[in-house]
Structure 1
Amino acid sequence: MSTASVRALAHPACQEIRLEGVLHALSDPMRLRIVRFLWRLGEGEGAPCSAIELVITKSTTTHHFRVLREAGVISQVYRGTAKMNALRRHDLDTLFPGLLDAVLTADAVQRERDGLPAT
């Protein structure tokens, strides 16, 4: 693949990811929805922003993806005109073992308790 078709965005290195930044990124319901979607895709899988249904403006969507990327929760790379997103699960599990699973499990319990759909 040529470098012209894939453009990388700035991401923190694994050792630069901070717990407080990750927790802040995961504290917003829209960002948690993005993470749930990417978690279901599996390790190394990515999806364009448009694949994740969010009922918010494009500028707000862009903000949420940026917060997740800058916190080190997701990676983003341009492929053509699409911005592909993937969960940085390996990095997060290495730095904070069990954190992502605990947050997503707690989220699922709360969603079930509140009668909300799993998505």
Structure 2
Amino acid sequence: MPYLGKIECPLCDREVDVSTNRSGMAYGRCAPCGFSWQLKSERGNRLLLAKVRRFEDPDAAPPAPKSAAPEPRESREIPEPQPTPAKPATAAKRGGSFGFWGSVNNG
């Protein structure tokens, strides 16, 4: 039962997988709408197979042609690190701890 490719469902126009049975006749089933078919005549089989978008096995496909190496573009990195700004002086810390709602406990 080799897989052939995809075709639109006659009822709902969604993609459906098409395969062939042992005798070479195409069949398929649309899961969303439940429509299924199996062709029994040579003429119908030829007409349907002409509409199938064939599946290309990635292992059997020829390798992609090698193109010229892309030219390097300008780097987005900053060439020299910028000096870090000085930290502002912090306010003197008050004694005590903060309570549940942010109030100061001097206890």
Q: Which protein is richer in helix relative to its size?
A: 1
TM-score normalised over the length of structure 2: 0.21
RCO comparison, higher one (Cα < 8 Å, 6+): 1
